[in-house]
Amino acid sequence: LIVQGIAYINNTLFERVSIFIDEDSGKIIDIKVGYNIQASDKVIDVTKNRYRILPGFIDLHVHLRDLAYSYKEDYYTGTGAAAKGGIVLVCDMPNTKPPTNTLDNLKLKVNKARSKALVDYGLYYGSPKDTRELKYVTNHIVGFKFYPEDIFTYFDKNVFGEVANKAANNDLLLVFHAEDPRLFNQRAPPGLERTDIAEYSAIDNIINITRNLLRHKVKIHITHISSAKSLQLLLKTKKQYYNEFEVTWDVTPHHILLDNTMYRINAGLYKVYPTLKTRYDNMRLYLALLNNEVDAITTDHAPHSLNEKMRPYNEACPGYPGLETVVSLLLTMVNKDLLSLESVVRYYSYNPARILNLKGLYGVISKGAYASLTIVDLKAEWKVKAEDFVSKAKYSPFEGWSLQGKPYLTMVRGKIVFHDNMLYGELRGWGKNVRELAKTKS
């Protein structure tokens, strides 16, 4: 199989190339400059100037739900939304029902995902109920996720040290949702019940705990930072402790494009944690994208039923689906000259692959890497209409937005899972647990 067109090669430049793919291994076996194919070759021709061939996008933070929450989303609709959104690998959070914090519960998920996934996926484990089970789980997960409640209760028991050591020895990521519950104020107006001070305080605590407990080099990742204050603290930390531990962080499109005045419109719909902050925070985080002061972009794809969303603020479920809008939101910024296509690849493909320790396999178009590619149409224009989502969550904070730029084709290890508005649903089960995939191939 050959893909020919303008591609982002070896993470440096766009060139007119032919990419040769071995369909058995799903890997790229050769890249030749120019379009030089034989009549007998099977070819995907995207040589028109409106297309760009990019390393497939990777999302470090999504909620695919399933199990008892399959009315909100399941592994097929969640990974289908990813395929349509141009994303080849999604990392799924453990706050499901039942939660992914025991070996038995993990097995439930491993099996569900295996039969339904359309794109590759990683699974996170929650705060473990029994650390003796950890030796059986490390081969199936990409990392651990800690929630606000964990940070100030669970951590005191010193179990964190054990988890962190396991993570360091097995190349697993420690991901934190940073908001300090001691500073929440449930009686505050929408959006102000959790402030930037709560986020700052949580990050400060996480850094101190990490510093005090670890002798091993460990990687911590602060997800969905939402404020200028947090960014400043993280930049300072990176400088100060770079030889003690590695810290990375991501931002979401909604924390860059939406601000807290949205709560006046329809507070329940816009409800999300961390809360939307001020326009100043939006702009500081956008600047961070321009200055390379961020490691990754994530969606925090958090689907709920419409009914759970259309409630008064205090009763509405927090979060939005994001997988089917993220790439178009970013390409719209590219089309407006607000962002480079290179930085979109860096934050949503190359860096996530590096953070997950999948460098060389994902996040690049190069020989030996998986042929997991996203071909985008830079010119396609469309309007966000949540009722057309593949995701079961039929609402969006970007409803009605006019966007320019769209995923045109998504390929996962040599197989097309989405092409020209068509989802290849018959391929469900093709998506693999990226951690298990890495183990079988090495």
Return the number of the residue (300 or 324) whose C-beta is nearest Zn ion: 300
Nearer to Zn ion, 74 or 300 (CB): 300
Q: How far is the CB of 300 from Zn ion (least distance, A)?
A: 4
Minimum Å gap between C-beta 90 and Zn ion is 12
Query: In the window 287-326, what residues touch Zn ion (CB under 5 A)?
Result: 300
Residue with the CB atom nearest Zn ion in the bound state: 300
Annotation says 300 is catalytic = yes
Rounded to 5 degrees, what are φ and ψ at 256? -100, -35
Burial 7-20 (b: 16+ CB within 10 A, else e): bbbeeeeeeebbbb
How is residue 50 written in tokens?
């409106």
Q: How far apart are CB 200 and Zn ion at their closest, in Å?
A: 19
Distance from CA of residue 156 to its chain's centroid? 29
Cis peptide before 98 (omega within 30 of 0): yes
Q: How far apart are CA 364 and CA 71, in angstroms?
A: 35
Q: What are phi and psi of 353, to 5 degrees?
A: -65, -40
Q: Which of 120, 295, 300, 377 is catalytic?
A: 300
**Nearest distance from C-beta of residue 322 to Zn ion, angstroms:** 10
Identity of the residue, 8 or 320, whose beta carbon is nearer to Zn ion in the bound complex: 320
**Which CB sits closer to Zn ion, 93 or 167?**
93
- In sequence order, what E strands does 240-322 have? 246-251, 296-297
Cβ atoms of 241 and 206 closer than 8 Å: no
Q: How far is the CB of 402 from Zn ion (least distance, A)?
A: 27
Ramachandran sector of residue 107 (left: φ over 0; alpha: ψ -120 to 50; beta: rest): alpha
In angstroms, what is the minimal distance from the CB of 241 to Zn ion? 26
How many amino acids of this chain bind Zn ion (CB under 5 A)? 1
Query: Which residue, 300 or 377, has its beta carbon nearer to Zn ion?
Result: 300
Would you say 191 or 318 has its CB closer to Zn ion? 318
- The DSSP bridge pattern shows strands 415-419 and 422-423 to be antiparallel
Q: Within 230-249, which residues bind Zn ion (CB under 5 A)?
A: none
Q: How far apart are CA 360 and CA 363, in angstroms?
A: 7
The answer to whether the bond into 274 is cis (omega within 30° of 0) is: yes
Neighbour count for residue 365 (Cβ, 10 Å): 24
* Positions marked catalytic: 300
Contact positions vs Zn ion (CB under 5 A): 300
